Structures are given as C-alpha cells and as structure tokens.
C-alpha cells in the first residue's frame, strides 16, 4: 500500500506537527473545571475541542479514553463558597451540575473518567511520601514542597515571568517556608478555617498540580498520550504536572503530546469576571443552536487564540447550513470522504475538512456532521 491509500489516516494523528502513532486506544487527560463559577465560552472552547479530539480519534479507528477531572478542592472554590454562605462541597456539586448540563447541551460526550479531587486525598498523601523518599520534595512546617526550581527552564520560561505566573496562579512564591520561590506545595498545611484533612505532616490540603498528578497517575498510570487544557494552563500547571509525574514514576515524557487549546478573548481582553466581559455558555445557548456554537468554536485551528464577537455566530450558522445542505445530497465520493479523514488527521484541520465536505456533499458531509458533533 502506498502512502495515499485508504488506510493512510488509520491510527495516526498529527498534533502540532507531531505524528502520534496509535494502535488501539489513546489516553487523553484534560484538566477540568474548578466548579465555583459560571461556565464561559473559554471553558466551552477547551472542552468542545477535547470532545472533538475524541471524535476524530474514533474516526481514525482509535478508541479515545478520556479523563476530565474536577478540581473540587481549591482555595478559590472555598472562598467563593464562603462568600455565598454555603459549604464548599455543596457549592462544588451545584457548580458541577450546571457545568454538566451545559456541556450536554453542547453535545459533548461524557468522558470515560471523571475523577473528583476530594476523593484523591490519600493518593496525594502517597504522592508526597514518594516524592519525599526520592528527594524531590521536602517537608517543612506541616507542608510538603516539591523542588520546582528547574521547571521554568524546562518549560522555556524565564525566571521572572515564571515568578509572575506562579503568583497569578496561587503558587505563593513569597511563602517564607520554601527553599526556592518556585517550589510548589504537594501538601499545604492549613488551619481549621479551610477545608482540610489529617496527614502525616498535620492538617492540610493537596496542592493544585499534585491533585492532577494523583488523578492522572491513578487513572492512567505513569504516562498519557495527550494532555489537554486551556493554553493558559501551560505554565505553571501543566509544566509542574509533567515534572512531578516524572519524578514520581521515572517514566518520561509524561505526555506524548500536549493539546493547549487557544484562549478566547473579547475585544482583545482575556475573559474574566473582574473585567466584566464574560460570555456565558448559558446566554449563548438561550439564543443559538448548540450546533452553531460548536461550529464557531471548531471552524479554526485549535491552538490559535481568537476574539469572540456575535457576528462569528452568524457566520458559523451560515456555514452550518451549507454543510447540512451538502449532507442532504446523495452525491459524494469515497475519495472525498477519505480526504475529510486525512484533513482531520492532519492536526484536526476542520476548515479544510469543511471545504471538502461542502464541495463534495453526500457521505463526506454526513461523516463530518457526525464527527463535529452537529447532529
């Protein structure tokens, strides 16, 4: 068989220019939400793309095994629950329910695994003990810190920028108990005013990166095929996750490929509650079909950042109609269907796949309607 035969796209997916050779299934870990607030278009974009990755894998003959965790132990969650005058567990359950409802409306398939951080406390304690044993961490004043000084260099980030990002994402670089400002808590001592658990080091709670390491290692073992999440998680969260997981297991690289989905901005600004520019999924769903929202998210390269405007939904709606009309035609060739598969195998190139499907119609278009989750 030459390189252009009908089997060329089977089991091979290019992600960010890297060929991921797969035989049977693919382990995909996606960093999920901290259920303390409403779901906005930025969240939806990440998880619609993870869903799309799973659907594309299935088209290529590979069974996706997706784990999307829930970070339901977190300082910001505690703070939000306290402000609302309710306990964190109840608050997280309500947030999770709303998130699930909206993701269902957006036609996401349920992930195969959905671990919740609060069920992995003993695993984080074990993780801390292993890291202490191997000398990758040290215990100090009731906390266990992972030695993170080398992480920014590995992630290609300079020291000053790493400090800024560490502070922004709750890494407490100014914590005087640490040997190095870029060390991170695997286990963080805390008082009775915070949700906490007993441990060999006293009362405390898991660190954010450590929670995800504990969940990914428990579900998938030492490594994953793809680790995904929003691009803003690349540092510190994913960089620390990889280094900590490798220190735990000795298996490197932890992730064969990274799937950092582009950030969505509004008038050039990152969406944030403080900026008052959140585009809520519930508001979009009230006025537009889910398929149009999916089309807006997916008809672009997955890794680029983009700026939301309401006109994009009109464009997506028009594109959707074109595709549906093409899918209604009986014409279409096996070759076109194969070209759709090849476009999706080449870094999930949806715009090219759409052009082929709309042009050819028939089976190629019907295949694409299914793979994009537009049914």
Binding site for Zn ion (CB under 5 A): 31, 212
d(CA 135, CA 236): 21
Identify which of 175, 191, 47, 24 has the alpha carbon closest to the alpha carbon of residue 110: 47
Do the Cβ atoms of 192 and 92 come closer than 8 Å? no
Query: H-helix or E-strand containing 266?
Result: strand 264-266
Task: Give the shortest CB-1-to-Zn ion separation in angstroms.
Answer: 40
User: What residues pair up with 66 in beta bridges, in sequence order?
Assistant: 28
CB of 31 to Zn ion, least distance (A): 3
- Residue among 45 and 360 whose Cβ is closer to Zn ion: 45
* Residue 258: closest CA among 31, 8, 84, 25: 31
Closer residue to Zn ion in complex, CB, 201/240: 240
- Pick between residue 177 and residue 234 the one whose CB is nearest to Zn ion: 234
Q: Position of tokens 């009309």?
A: 325
* Of 185 and 212, CB closest to Zn ion: 212
Which one, of 361, 367, 298, 340, lies nearest residue 8 by Cα? 340
Closest distance of CB 233 from Zn ion, Å: 7
**Least distance CB 343 / Zn ion (angstroms):** 30
Nearer to Zn ion, 235 or 308 (CB): 235
Our CB check for Zn ion shows the closer of 215 and 327 to be 215
Minimum CB distance to Zn ion, residue 215 (Å): 8
Q: Report, in Å, the least distance between residue 268 CB and Zn ion.
A: 27
Q: What is the CB neighbour count within 10 angstroms for residue 152? A: 22
Contacts of 199 by beta carbon, 8 Å cutoff, 6+ apart:
125, 128, 187
Token representation of residue 266:
């509004």
Pick between residue 31 and residue 248 the one whose CB is nearest to Zn ion.
Answer: 31
Nearest residue (CB) to Zn ion, 68 versus 339: 68
Residues 6 or more apart whose Cβ sits within 8 Å of residue 21? 11, 12
| Closer CB to Zn ion, 31 or 323, in the complex | 31
Which residues lie below 8 Å from residue 86, measured CB to CB, with a gap of 6+? Answer: none
Rounded to a whole number of angstroms, the minimum distance from the CB of residue 341 to Zn ion is 31
Name the nearest CA neighbour of 11 among 68, 66, 64: 64
Q: Which two tokens stand for residue 234?
A: 């690349």
d(CA 67, CA 80): 26
Distance of closest approach, residue 207 Cβ to Zn ion, in angstroms: 11
Give dist(CA 265, CA 268) in Å, integer. Answer: 5
Least distance in angstroms from the C-beta of 219 to Zn ion: 12
CB 129: neighbour CB atoms within 10 A? 18
Q: Tell how strand 184-189 and strand 255-261 pair up.
A: unpaired
Question: Between residues 68 and 129, which has the closer beta carbon with respect to Zn ion?
Answer: 68
Question: E strand or H helix at 128, and its extent?
Answer: helix 121-134
């Amino acid at each position: 068989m030459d390189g252009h035969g009908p089997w060329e796209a089977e089991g091979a997916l290019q992600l960010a220019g890297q060929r991921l050779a797969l035989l049977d299934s693919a382990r995909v870990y996606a960093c999920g939400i901290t259920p303390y607030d409403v779901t906005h278009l930025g969240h939806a974009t990440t998880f619609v793309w993870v869903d799309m990755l799973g659907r594309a894998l299935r088209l290529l003959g590979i069974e996706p095994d997706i784990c999307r965790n829930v970070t339901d132990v977190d300082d910001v969650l505690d703070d939000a629950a306290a402000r609302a005058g309710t306990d964190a567990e109840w608050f997280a359950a309500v947030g999770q329910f709303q998130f699930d409802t909206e993701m269902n409306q957006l036609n996401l398939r349920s992930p195969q695994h959905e671990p919740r951080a609060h069920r992995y406390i003993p695993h984080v304690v074990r993780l801390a003990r292993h890291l202490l044993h191997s000398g990758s961490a040290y215990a100090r004043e009731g906390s266990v810190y992972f030695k993170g000084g080398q992480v920014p260099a590995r992630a290609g980030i300079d020291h000053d920028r790493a400090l800024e990002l560490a502070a922004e994402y709750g890494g407490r670089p100014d914590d005087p108990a640490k040997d190095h400002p870029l060390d991170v808590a695997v286990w963080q001592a805390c008082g009775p005013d915070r949700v906490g658990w007993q441990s060999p080091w006293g009362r405390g709670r898991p660190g954010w990166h450590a929670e995800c390491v504990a969940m990914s290692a428990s579900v998938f073992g030492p490594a994953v095929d793809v680790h995904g999440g929003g691009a803003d998680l690349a540092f510190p969260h994913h960089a620390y996750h990889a280094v900590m997981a490798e220190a735990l297991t000795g298996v490197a690289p932890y992730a064969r490929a990274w799937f950092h989905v582009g950030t969505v901005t509004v008038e050039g600004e990152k969406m944030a509650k403080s900026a008052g520019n959140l585009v809520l999924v519930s508001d979009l769903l009230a006025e537009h079909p889910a398929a149009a929202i999916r089309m807006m998210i997916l008809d672009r390269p997955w890794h680029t950042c983009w700026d939301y405007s309401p006109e994009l939904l009109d464009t997506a709606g028009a594109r959707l109609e074109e595709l549906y009309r093409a899918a209604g035609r009986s014409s279409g060739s096996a070759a076109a269907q194969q070209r759709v598969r090849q476009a999706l195998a080449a870094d999930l190139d949806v715009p090219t796949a759409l052009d082929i499907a709309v042009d050819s119609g028939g089976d190629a278009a019907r295949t694409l309607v299914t793979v994009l989750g537009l049914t």
